[in-house]
C-alpha cells in the first residue's frame, strides 16, 4: 500500500495520482485530501531567485517590493555559502539567525528545521529560537506551577478513555474545536477525538463551553464570555468554592503551597477587592449566578476543566492557565482518573489519546556552539534592537546584531504578530535567505530564494512522539524539473564550505530513511523490518491490543511523589516568580486587564485556526479558496454589530487599528458575542498602498492587527488573541479589482 503522510493524517495513494482516506482512519480530514492540488499551483517556486536590489547592494531597503533574477542552483548555492562565510568571519556566528518552524513537514527526515539546524551547526552555529507560537506562554509558566514534567503539550490531560469512564462534566474555556483535531505534527493514522466526544456524551457526560464564539462549543451548553476575561471568571469560581466551604482543604493542605496567601487574594484582603462572582460578572459578561453554579458543580460532580491554547496566546496569558490550576486544585479533582485539568483537548489530534507513543529519532542536528537565543515570538525585537536585552523567565537575554536571517520551513508573515512592524524590522539584516515551495510573503521578502520540493514530492518517514502510527511516505510524484529537496540544497551549500561529507554523513536520502527507521526499531523491536515496513506502508504500535493506556496526571503526586517545582507541590503562590519582581506576572493567579494598553476601539478580534487549511498552508487549495468571498477572507460578526455600520453579507470592509488595515468580506453570525469579530488566521499577507496612500493588507491576515508585545516578561510568548479593532466600510473600492487581479 502506498501512503502519503501529512499533517492532516495518512492517505492512500490511488491512480492519477489521487488521494483517498486511509482505511483505518475513522474520521479522515477532508482538507488533507486536497494536497495534490498544490502540484499545479502557479505560485510554485521553480528555480533559485535573487532579489535585484540585494545583488546591487541596497542593504535590504526594497525587501518586499522588488523584482528577482533567475539563478542556477550552482550559482545560488555559491552565493549563499559566500554570504554565510562573510557574516561569520566579519561578525561572528551569533550574527546569523536560523529561523524555522515545526510545521514544514510531517516527515522526520525532510523536516526543514532539522535540516537547517544541522547545516548551521556544522558551519559554526547560530542564534536560535525556543518554544512555539502555539504553546509558548504555557511552556514557561507551567514548570513553575506544576513542574516541568507537566509542561509538554498534552502532559496535563487525562486520557480520553478515563474521561469517558469517570468524568461527567467538562467546563471548557475557549472551546474544543474539532477542526483543530484534524492536525498532528508528525501525522496520524486515526483521528479519534470526535469518536471520544460521542462516547462521552453517550455515557452521560456534559460539556459547558465558555467562549465568545458559539462555534467553539462542540456539544452541550454555550455561555458567551467577553474575550480575555477567563481569568476573572475562574478567580470568581475559586472565590465561590472558598466562601461556600466547598474547597477541598485536604488536597490544598497536602499537595499545594500558597493556598492561604491565595485565599487572602480571593477575599480581597491584599487589595481591597474580593474576587466574587458579582465582581467578575461585570468584567466577563457572564451572570454571577452562572459562575457560582459552575463552581458548585465542579466541586460536586466528577469534573474536568479544559482550556484552549488560545487563552495563553494573549497579553498576560500566564494568568488563565495558572488560575485553572488553582480552580482544579480547590475543587479537589486533580490526580483522579479522568478528572482535573486539561490544556488543549482537541487542539491537535494527539492530546488525550490513550496510546503508548512512538519513541524515535529526529534527523540529527548536532550541537550549536552559539548560546544566544530568543523566545520564538520575539523575532521583531531581535531585529529592531541589536545590542539590547530582553527579560525572559528570570534571566536577561542579549540580543545579537543579526546580519543574516536564514529561514527554511515556516512563514513568519503568517504566524508572527503586527506584520507591518515586522516588515519594517525585516529590512535591517544584510541578507535574508528563504527556502520555499511557493511564493509566500516570506519568500517575497527574501533576498535569495531556494525552491523546495513539496512533501508529496519526496520520500520520508512520518510519525509523532504522541501517537502510535508510523508511515513510510514515498514520493507520490516527482517535483518540477530542477526543484531539489532542502537536504540537497544544504548539502550543495555545505560543499562550497568544505562541509559536505560531514553534512551527508556518508548517506544519500534513501540511506538516511533506512537509518532513521532502524533507530525506531531499536526503541520498538516489535516493528516490522525495513522491507516489510515499506511494503505495508505503515506500522502501528499495539495494533492488536484492545485496552488503551490510561493517563492520570498528578496520580503520582497523590501517591507521595513530589513534583519538580521548588516546593515539590502545586504552587498556587510561587516564591521563585515573586523573586523575579515582574509587574506583568505576579506571584499568584491575578486578574490583569489585557485591554489596558489597547486602543479604545469597539471590537475584540479573535483569530482561530482555520477549518480549511493548516495555518497558511493549503491556502491556494480548493477548500480555502471556496471559503473566501470574492477572493476575500470572511469575517463573522453579530448582526446587531453590522447593522449600525450598514454592512451586510458579502460586503467588503476594513478591519483596522493603529497597527494596520486588512480587508475582509463580512458575514453576520448570531453565534458570535456582540462586540467580537472572528477572522480565522492564515490568509496570505498581501500588502499594497491604496489610493489614499495607506498600507493595506488585501489578504485578510489578522496578524496585521495583533499585538507583538510578549505575554509578559516571564514567558515573552505570542500575544495574538483578542486585540482591539474597528470595522468600517471599504474606503477605496479599487482594491477589490486589485485583489482579483492578484489572485
**Is 581 contained in some domain?**
no
CATH of the domain at 393: 3.40.50.740
Q: What is the pLDDT of residue 355?
A: 86
pLDDT surpasses 80 at 459: yes
- Mean pLDDT value of segment 329-351: 96
Q: What is the pLDDT of residue 103?
A: 86
- What are 630-683's pLDDT values in tens digits? 999 999 999 999 999 999 999 999 999 999 999 999 999 999 999 999 999 999
For residues 343 and 382, membership in a common domain is answered with: no
CATH of the domain at 200: 3.40.228.10
- What's the domain range around 75? 38-131+372-465+469-540
The CA–CA distances, whole Å, from 504 to 123, 450, 491, 611 equal 14, 19, 7, 39
For residues 500 and 625, membership in a common domain is answered with: no
**Is 495 contained in some domain?**
yes
pLDDT band at 549 (very low <50, low <70, confident <90, very high): low
**Is 566 contained in some domain?**
no
**Is 595 contained in some domain?**
no
> Measured between alpha carbons, how far is 586 from 580 in angstroms, rounded to an integer?
9
**Is 558 contained in some domain?**
no
**Is 560 contained in some domain?**
no
CATH of the domain at 728: 2.40.40.20
For residues 346 and 376, membership in a common domain is answered with: no
Given the residues 54, 101, 309, 321, select the one marked as catalytic: 101
For residues 182 and 74, membership in a common domain is answered with: no
For residues 124 and 149, membership in a common domain is answered with: no
- The verdict on whether 196 is a catalytic residue reads no
Q: What is the pLDDT of residue 743?
A: 82
In the DSSP assignment, the letter for residue 481 is T
Q: What is the pLDDT of residue 543?
A: 67
pLDDT surpasses 70 at 546: no
Q: What is the pLDDT of residue 277?
A: 98
- What are 33-50's pLDDT values in tens digits? 999 998 888 999 999 999
- The verdict on whether 101 is a catalytic residue reads yes
For residues 277 and 314, membership in a common domain is answered with: yes
Residue where one domain finishes, among candidates 540, 572, 592: 540
Strands 469-473 and 460-463, how do they pair?
antiparallel
Q: What is the pLDDT of the chain when averaged over all its residues?
A: 96
CA proximity to 452, closest of 488, 423, 425, 419:
488
- Mean pLDDT value of segment 173-200: 95
pLDDT surpasses 70 at 138: yes
**Is 732 contained in some domain?**
yes
For residues 307 and 172, membership in a common domain is answered with: yes
pLDDT surpasses 70 at 615: yes
pTM of the model: 0.97
Given the residues 103, 373, 517, 520, select the one marked as catalytic: 103
Total domains, the chain = 3
Residue that has been written with the C-alpha cell 481591597 in this structure: 272
> In the chain, pLDDT over 70 holds for what percent of residues?
99
Q: What is the pLDDT of residue 466?
A: 87
CA proximity to 732, closest of 629, 654, 655:
654
For residues 260 and 287, membership in a common domain is answered with: yes
- Mean pLDDT value of segment 267-292: 98
For residues 69 and 152, membership in a common domain is answered with: no
Residue where one domain finishes, among candidates 498, 522, 540: 540
For residues 192 and 101, membership in a common domain is answered with: no
- Mean pLDDT value of segment 81-92: 98
For residues 384 and 342, membership in a common domain is answered with: no
Residues 66 and 447 sit within 8 Å (Cβ to Cβ): no
**β-bridge partners, 285:** none
pLDDT surpasses 80 at 547: no
Q: What is the pLDDT of residue 357?
A: 85
pLDDT surpasses 90 at 270: yes
pLDDT surpasses 60 at 372: yes
**β-bridge partners, 307:** 173, 343
> Measured between alpha carbons, how far is 132 from 75 in angstroms, rounded to an integer?
34
Residue where one domain finishes, among candidates 286, 321, 353: 353
**Is 66 contained in some domain?**
yes
pLDDT surpasses 90 at 360: no
For residues 288 and 421, membership in a common domain is answered with: no
Amino acid at each position: 500500500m502506498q501512503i502519503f503522510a501529512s499533517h492532516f493524517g495518512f492517505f492512500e495513494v490511488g491512480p492519477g495520482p489521487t488521494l483517498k482516506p486511509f482505511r483505518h482512519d475513522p474520521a479522515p480530514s477532508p482538507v488533507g485530501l486536497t494536497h495534490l492540488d498544490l502540484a499545479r499551483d502557479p505560485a510554485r517556486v521553480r528555480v533559485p531567485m535573487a532579489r535585484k536590489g540585494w545583488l546591487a547592494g541596497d542593504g535590504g531597503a526594497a525587501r518586499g517590493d522588488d523584482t528577482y533574477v533567475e539563478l542556477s542552483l550552482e550559482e545560488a548555492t555559491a552565493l549563499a555559502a559566500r554570504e554565510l562565510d562573510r557574516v561569520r568571519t566579519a561578525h561572528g556566528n551569533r550574527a546569523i539567525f536560523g529561523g524555522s518552524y515545526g510545521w514544514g513537514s510531517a516527515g522526520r527526515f525532510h523536516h526543514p528545521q532539522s535540516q537547517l539546524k544541522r547545516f548551521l551547526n556544522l558551519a559554526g552555529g547560530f542564534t536560535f529560537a525556543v518554544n512555539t507560537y502555539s504553546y509558548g506562554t504555557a511552556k514557561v509558566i507551567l514548570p513553575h506551577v506544576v513542574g516541568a514534567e507537566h509542561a509538554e503539550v498534552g502532559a496535563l490531560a487525562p486520557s480520553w478513555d478515563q474521561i469517558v469512564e469517570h468524568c461527567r462534566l467538562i467546563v471548557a474555556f475557549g472551546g474544543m474545536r474539532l477542526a483543530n483535531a484534524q492536525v498532528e505534527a508528525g501525522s496520524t493514522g486515526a483521528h479519534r477525538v470526535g469518536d471520544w466526544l460521542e462516547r462521552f456524551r453517550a455515557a452521560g457526560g456534559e460539556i459547558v463551553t465558555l467562549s465568545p464564539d458559539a462555534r467553539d462549543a462542540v456539544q452541550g451548553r454555550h455561555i458567551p464570555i467577553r474575550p480575555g476575561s477567563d481569568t476573572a471568571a475562574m478567580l470568581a469560581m475559586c472565590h465561590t468554592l472558598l466562601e461556600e466551604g466547598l474547597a477541598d482543604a485536604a488536597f490544598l493542605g497536602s499537595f499545594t503551597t500558597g493556598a492561604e496567601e491565595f485565599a487572602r487574594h480571593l477575599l480581597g484582603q491584599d487589595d481591597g477587592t474580593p474576587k466574587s462572582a458579582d465582581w467578575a460578572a461585570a468584567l466577563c459578561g457572564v451572570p454571577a449566578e452562572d459562575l457560582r453554579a459552575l463552581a458548585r458543580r465542579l466541586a460536586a460532580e466528577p469534573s474536568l476543566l479544559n482550556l484552549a491554547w488560545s487563552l495563553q496566546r494573549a497579553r498576560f496569558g500566564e494568568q488563565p492557565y495558572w488560575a485553572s490550576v488553582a480552580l482544579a486544585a480547590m475543587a479537589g479533582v486533580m490526580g483522579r482518573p479522568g478528572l482535573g485539568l486539561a490544556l488543549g483537548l482537541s487542539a491537535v489530534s494527539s492530546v488525550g489519546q490513550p496510546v503508548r507513543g512512538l519513541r524515535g529519532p529526529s534527523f540529527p542536528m548536532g550541537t550549536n556552539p552559539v548560546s544566544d537565543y530568543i523566545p520564538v515570538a520575539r523575532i521583531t525585537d531581535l531585529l529592531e534592537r541589536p545590542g539590547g536585552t530582553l527579560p525572559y523567565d528570570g534571566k536577561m537575554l542579549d540580543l545579537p546584531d543579526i546580519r543574516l536571517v536564514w529561514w527554511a520551513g515556516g512563514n513568519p508573515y503568517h504566524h508572527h504578530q503586527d506584520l507591518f512592524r515586522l516588515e519594517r524590522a525585516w529590512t535591517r539584516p544584510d541578507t535574508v535567505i528563504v527556502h520555499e515551495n511557493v511564493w509566500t510573503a516570506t519568500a517575497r521578502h527574501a533576498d535569495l530564494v531556494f525552491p523546495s520540493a513539496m512533501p508529496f514530492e519526496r520520500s520520508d518517514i512520518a510519525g509523532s512522539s504522541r501517537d502510535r502510527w508510523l508511515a513510510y511516505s514515498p514520493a507520490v510524484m516527482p517535483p518540477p524539473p530542477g526543484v531539489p529537496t532542502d537536504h540537497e540544497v544544504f548539502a550543495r551549500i555545505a560543499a562550497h564550505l568544505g562541509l559536505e561529507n560531514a553534512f551527508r554523513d556518508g548517506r544519500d536520502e534513501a540511506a538516511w530513511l533506512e537509518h532513521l527507521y532502524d533507530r525506531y526499531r531499536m526503541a520498538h523491536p516489535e516493528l516490522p523490518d525495513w522491507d516489510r515496513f515499506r511494503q505495508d506502508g505503515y506500522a502501528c504500535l499495539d495494533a492488536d491490543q484492545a485496552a488503551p493506556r490510561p493517563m492520570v496526571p498528578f496520580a503520582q503526586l497523590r501517591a507521595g511523589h513530589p513534583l519538580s517545582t521548588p516546593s515539590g507541590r502545586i504552587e498556587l503562590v510561587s516564591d521563585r516568580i515573586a523573586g523575579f519582581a515582574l509587574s506583568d506576572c505576579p506571584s499568584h493567579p491575578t486578574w490583569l486587564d489585557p485591554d489596558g494598553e489597547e486602543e479604545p476601539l469597539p471590537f475584540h478580534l479573535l483569530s482561530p485556526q482555520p477549518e480549511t487549511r493548516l495555518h497558511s498552508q493549503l491556502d491556494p487549495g480548493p477548500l480555502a479558496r471556496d471559503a473566501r468571498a470574492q477572493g476575500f477572507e470572511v469575517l463573522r460578526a453579530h448582526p446587531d454589530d453590522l447593522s449600525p455600520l450598514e454592512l451586510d453579507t458579502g460586503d467588503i470592509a476594513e478591519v483596522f487599528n493603529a497597527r494596520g488595515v486588512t480587508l475582509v468580506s463580512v458575514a453576520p453570525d448570531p453565534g458570535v458575542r456582540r462586540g467580537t469579530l472572528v477572522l480565522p488566521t492564515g490568509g496570505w499577507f498581501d500588502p499594497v498602498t491604496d489610493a489614499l496612500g495607506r498600507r493595506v493588507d488585501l489578504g485578510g491576515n489578522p496578524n496585521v492587527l495583533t499585538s507583538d508585545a510578549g505575554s509578559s516578561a516571564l514567558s515573552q510568548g505570542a500575544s495574538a488573541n483578542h486585540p482591539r479593532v474597528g470595522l468600517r466600510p471599504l474606503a477605496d473600492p479599487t482594491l477589490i479589482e486589485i485583489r482579483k487581479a492578484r489572485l
